[in-house]
A and B are shown apart, each in its own frame.
Chain A
Amino acid sequence: MKYFFNKASFFLIPILLVWMGLEIFYRTTPNNYSVKAREVQKHYQSCEILILGNSHAYYGLNPEFFQIPTYNFANISQNLYFDKLLFDKHIHNFKKLKWVILNIEYTTLSHTDDIEGETWRKYFYQSQMGIEVDLIPFYDVRQYSLSVSRPLKNSLNTIEQYIEKQTLVDCNESGWGYSYTNENSSTNMEYVAEIVTKKHEDHSLDFSQNLNKIEAIIEQCKQRNIQVLLISMPVHKTYAERVNSHKVSKIHQSAEKVAKKYDNVFYLNLFSDTTFMDSDFFDPDHLNHQGAKKCTQIVNAFMNQNN
């Protein structure tokens, strides 16, 4: 037995060392989750607009261009499940909140709670943003180790990114994602759109679960005299052309229906807004700095009109 354990340990020890190193890295290096969990608390007293949603809102709505104090609490691949958990955890702390912005994208209403290919994110939400994620069963050991929650391939890419940029954080103090600059925008929109739209297609028209979540957020906002803006962010024409148009119109109809149902809800549809030019996009479904400024100004004007 000793011989066996000696042999096995020879291979096991390097694996354990790598695991420990990665765990220390994830626990000590600030990332978007840990930074947002910390920064949002600094905005409790002043924030009047809270932005929730996925990367479209994260990169596309810059708090700097709102006329009132704003915090962007959106994040990459943050679906309504996590929007709701974050909203429930923090809403009672905001003292002056007037608006909550929720973005409604092609994937928003049909996505399942645990997004395929992005399942590792739930462990980061629970561990670093302090929310109870009931998608994680009690016996799931990944909740105790961030490094095993992600494939090693991804972890090594993350370390490479950290070495290159000296940080894993790509948002500023107001929560806006700043890494999609005008300069590094994609030049091959057609090609990227082909890949992205395939990735985004889940072939589901069942919106009921996600609409329930939206309405639950709206109900709470109503009780607190907070207005809700549902927004479909602009996309590049190469993206709009490739997604299922029937689903798109059903999404927009659903959002409009919700806006009609509640007097504290407004819907702004910028999905195919012609104001946005090629130069406003980082890639087929994300705005760059220039586009984010333009979009935020449009949203700001819309909110002023409906205030």
Chain B
Amino acid sequence: MLFNSLDYALFLPIVFILYWFVFQKNLTVQNAFLLLTSYFFYACWSSKFLGLIILSTLINYFFGVLISEKKHHSKAYLTIGIVLNLVILGYFKYYNFFIDNLVALVRIFGAELNIHPLQIILPIGISFYTFQGISYLTDIYRRQTQPCKDYLSFSIFITFFPQLVAGPIERASNLLPQITANRVFNPQQAILGLKLIALGLFEKIVIADNCAGYVNSIFANYDQESGSTLFLGAILFSFQIYGDFCGYSHVAIGSAHLLGFNLTKNFNYPYLAQNIADFWRRWHISFSYWLRDYIYYPLGGNKKGEYKKMRNLTIVFLISGIWHGADWTFVIYGGIHAFLYILFIYYRKWTKNLSFLNSNPIKPLYDFSAIVVTFLLLTLARIFFRADNLENALGYFKQLSASSLFEKPDISRLFVALMFGFLFLEWIQRNKDHLLDLSNIKNKLIRYSIYFIILFLIFYNVGNNQSFIYFQF
């Protein structure tokens, strides 16, 4: 059931009405209903993987209790719990990648391995709920959260349908107390939820899906396109993936608001980032912080010298890359981010004493240039993210760097300009919580007109039902 589908447009109001009008009197009943709807939501993708998500819930539930109660062996239980989570994820997501590369490696040495890849379907959302489970176990071990002894509440923590398939990756300390407490309908929160759903649908349907039409064609036929078209194609992919994922997150957070929950903010105008570090504080925030808290810090973070800091950053970004998909393109994507991040650390040291960069009129120009350069670097890195394989990615770069880069592009430049217009709107709203926060516009007519325009654009463009890119992760 896609967020941008008619099915969800019917599912959510039905859940909303039953949730607040039929089951609201008893928290247990309301939670049981929430769990059933979450299972139903997941079963609409694939009922056969419902068992897997229940297994994952059981593992994390029991190991959470064990880590808390068996204090002398808590580290062992934590390790086993994390390994079990990773074994499930590894089997479904990385088994074939591992086998393919092992066979290729052995072949280099002149031997043949008689192991074949399996027909494995990747269960939707597995990367997200596995990471959420790992963070839960780790937080209990660190005494940052209490184990949840109510299995029903814990099941909702793992399967809560708005964030089940593509995040935000929630911490137990944020979501579990909301599940176990009585919820009172808050009209302002619900209205904010509707606004975020509208914004998310706009980002997905109007921005991402329209970009997808160009991007899919350009990446499929990159060898026949000019360098300039490929350049704009890569830029449009940046907008596509942003609209797609940020749109998903907004609908998820908005849907949760309608049910009285506050989920973690996942995006904060990432393309206004002035450097790579800033970008990762604004893009897929719940994932960035997960990597920081559960990988970077345990590795020592930046406290064990310069070399280890670089090593830790590289490990974190390589994991970030491979988390997205089992392919070398994603490893390289992560590697590029690590390289850019380390480069930025040195650049920051170098520019620290250049005080003129903070003086007028240099600073606004410098900040603007920093945004442009960061956006372009990320856009180029994303070619590895989008390409079907390494060969295509390198071919894309080769074609991109040809002299045809200066030819007239075979793509609507008006459309590209409109995308940058969207970015400009984000810049105007950069101090607001979200793009549709129009509280500064006092005139009701103007405010409502903007909402109606947004709604019209959504309905005008709806109908393709293109899936979300991050569902494959």
Residues of chain A in range 1-53 having any CB-CB distance to chain B below 8 Å: 1, 3-4, 7-8, 10-11, 14-15, 18
Roughly how many angstroms separate A156 CA and B463 CA in the complex, as a whole number?
13
Known: A7-B191, A148-B6. Contact between A1 and B462, CB under 8 A? no
Whether the Cβ atoms of A154 and B190 lie closer than 8 Å is no
Partner of A152, one of B10, B20, B187, B460: B460
Is B415 at the interface (CB under 8 A from chain A)?
no
Roughly how many angstroms separate A4 CA and B185 CA in the complex, as a whole number?
10
Whether the Cβ atoms of A151 and B463 lie closer than 8 Å is yes
Roughly how many angstroms separate A7 CA and B448 CA in the complex, as a whole number?
11
Whether the Cβ atoms of A150 and B463 lie closer than 8 Å is yes
Contact-size category for B: 10 to 19
Whether the Cβ atoms of A4 and B462 lie closer than 8 Å is no
Partner of A1, one of B20, B455, B464: B20
Roughly how many angstroms separate A8 CA and B191 CA in the complex, as a whole number?
8
Known: A3-B187, A11-B452. Contact between A151 and B6, CB under 8 A? no
Known: A141-B10, A142-B6, A148-B6. Contact between A8 and B194, CB under 8 A? yes
Roughly how many angstroms separate A14 CA and B448 CA in the complex, as a whole number?
13
Whether the Cβ atoms of B190 and A4 lie closer than 8 Å is yes
Residues of chain B with a CB closer than 8 A to A151's CB: 460-464
Whether the Cβ atoms of A154 and B460 lie closer than 8 Å is no
Contact-size category for A: 10 to 19
Whether the Cβ atoms of B461 and A4 lie closer than 8 Å is no
Whether the Cβ atoms of A15 and B460 lie closer than 8 Å is no
Distance to closest chain A CB from B449 (angstroms)? 12
Is B406 at the interface (CB under 8 A from chain A)?
no
Residues of chain B with a CB closer than 8 A to A153's CB: 460-461, 463
Whether the Cβ atoms of B194 and A154 lie closer than 8 Å is no
The 5 closest A-B pairs by CB, nearest first: A151-B463, A4-B187, A152-B459, A3-B187, A4-B190
Residues of chain B with a CB closer than 8 A to A10's CB: 448
Is B451 at the interface (CB under 8 A from chain A)?
yes
Task: Kindly supply a per-residue 1/0 record for chain B positions 1-22, scoring 1 wherever the CB is within 8 Å of any chain A CB and 0 otherwise.
Answer: 0000011001000000000100
Task: Kindly supply a per-residue 1/0 record for chain B positions 438-460, scoring 1 wherever the CB is within 8 Å of any chain A CB and 0 otherwise.
Answer: 00000000001001100100011
Known: A141-B6, A148-B6, A151-B464. Contact between A15 and B459, CB under 8 A? yes
Most buried by B among A1, A3, A148, A151: A151
Residues of chain B with a CB closer than 8 A to A7's CB: 187, 191, 194
Whether the Cβ atoms of A1 and B185 lie closer than 8 Å is yes
Residues of chain A in range 145-175 having any CB-CB distance to chain B below 8 Å: 148, 150-154, 156
Residues of chain A with a CB closer than 8 A to B194's CB: 7-8, 11
Whether the Cβ atoms of A4 and B191 lie closer than 8 Å is yes
Roughly how many angstroms separate A148 CA and B462 CA in the complex, as a whole number?
10
A and B contact pairs by CB, cutoff 8 A, 25 listed: A1-B185, A3-B187, A4-B185, A7-B191, A7-B194, A8-B194, A10-B448, A11-B194, A14-B452, A15-B455, A15-B459, A18-B459, A141-B6, A151-B460, A151-B461, A151-B462, A151-B463, A151-B464, A152-B460, A152-B461, A152-B462, A153-B460, A153-B461, A153-B463, A156-B460
Whether the Cβ atoms of B463 and A152 lie closer than 8 Å is yes
Residue of A nearest to B463 (CB): A151
Roughly how many angstroms separate A274 CA and B247 CA in the complex, as a whole number?
53
Roughly how many angstroms separate A142 CA and B20 CA in the complex, as a whole number?
27
Roughly how many angstroms separate A106 CA and B7 CA in the complex, as a whole number?
34
Most buried by A among B187, B448, B452, B462: B187
